[in-house]
Chain A
Amino acid sequence: MSTVINESSAQAAGGMTTDMPHEFLTFTLGAEEYGVDILKVQEIRGYDTVTRIPEAPDFIKGVINLRGTIVPVVDMRLKFKLGKAEYNEFTVMIILNVARRVVGMVVDGVSDVMQLTPEQIRPAPEFGSAVNSRFITGLGAFDERMLILVDIEKLMSAADMALMDSHSQALQ
């Protein structure tokens, strides 16, 4: 997956603002485009065979072996009931580092890496996105695109993600 710095964002970054631009990895879920803090992303890889885990909700596909570490995989398409949860050679996983854990996330597709300056980020209005608005930190807008910025750490730690024991949620 190559990193593409969007030209317009590069211009924006070179503008008058002294604020550091923020980098986001963008991905699609259904018709919506989302962005997560690039610093939370460990790597992007193809979909692996997973080992199912008993008593897990359907959107937790199971666990994979990531260079010797057991990593759970969440299919966001199933979680948010979007698109068709197909697994083929194009299916990708974003490996995240959140809440001192490693979690794999299956999405419809990974787009690119974008830089957003603070003024390109607007507070999120209440609106009906697939992801609950309490996990949305803002909207990133440029050109014709609108990016829903997600607090991925908070989202993955949420109780209904069923990824962590309740006691470790309490620690967050």
Chain B
Amino acid sequence: MSRTARPFVILGFLLVLALFVSVMAGSMFLSPAELWQAFTSRAGGGANGVEQSGVAATILFKLRLPRAILLLLVGAALAGSGAAYQGLFRNPLADPFLIGVASGAGLGAVVAMTIQWPYTAAGLAAVPLAAFAGATLAVLVVTRLARVGNSVPTTNLILAGVAVSSFASAVTSLLMINSTGELRRAMVWLLGGSALSGWNPVLGVLPYILAGCAVLLLLGHPLNVMQFGDEQAQQLGIPVRRVRRVTILAATLTTAAAVAFVGVIGFVGLVVPHILRLLWGGDYRRLLPLSMLGGAALLLLTDTVARTVIAPQEIPVGIITALLGAPFFLWVLRRSKSQNYW
């Protein structure tokens, strides 16, 4: 196996494994044989197997599989955007929420939650729509505020992002403190743990995450060159401003779509790129796709833990990602031989 292919094979294998584990594990264990039977009887179009395994099929096709696919997409989106932002801002602390997506989405979602929506299609879609709108609005405001003349300097962008995020978080907290209703829902949403079912959320985020990740994958080479600094990159023929705009646009859309349904899942976007960088180097042409694979696998595995560890209760997955991810990251950091990998 060639050296360049090995990381992809390892992470690909890990992802498939994670997918299997997350589909099998839960309140009702589904063995590979039962999975196979559920799939074949479904394909067979209502043979005897369907009625016998009615509950198993419902759990598999309406709960576990859509949730696994959604989290796979979200994990890829968060880690891919995180890697791109770390490259773009040349800042190891950059994460997909750096310039306001998370706090904007949180504000949008909590505003929507303060209202008792009617039981209609529009009412049911209110929270994800508001979260997506809040996320993109926050980034618009940040880029607008950070603009100097015709360009958007990186430092301005980060500072404006921090300020707008703090403001949005303050308004969110104020709304939650003054709320007369249930706070738990907002809390859980902000910790990234909305229990979902069915395929509609998957269909809702699919176009954004696919398109966004595809665009991010094209940015490997320019991001590599931009590690020398914006001026050098410009001299080497990289259209720095355009790369910056495209990166922000793609990362914003993917992360906004990702958080719209599942809430704010921290840590994946920050740490997955770092772990992979420590293991296999910082070439963005490889780091971006590897981060997407790794983020998807990590989120699937942590969600399986979140669903099963104190079943039937679920822990918001954002808590588990940090709880398991942080020690693992520190372990990788300690055993890495290079003093200064960044």
Q: Do A and B come from one complex?
A: no
Measuring CB to CB, which residues of chain A are less than 8 angstroms from any residue of chain B? none
| Contacts from B to A (Cβ < 8 Å) | none
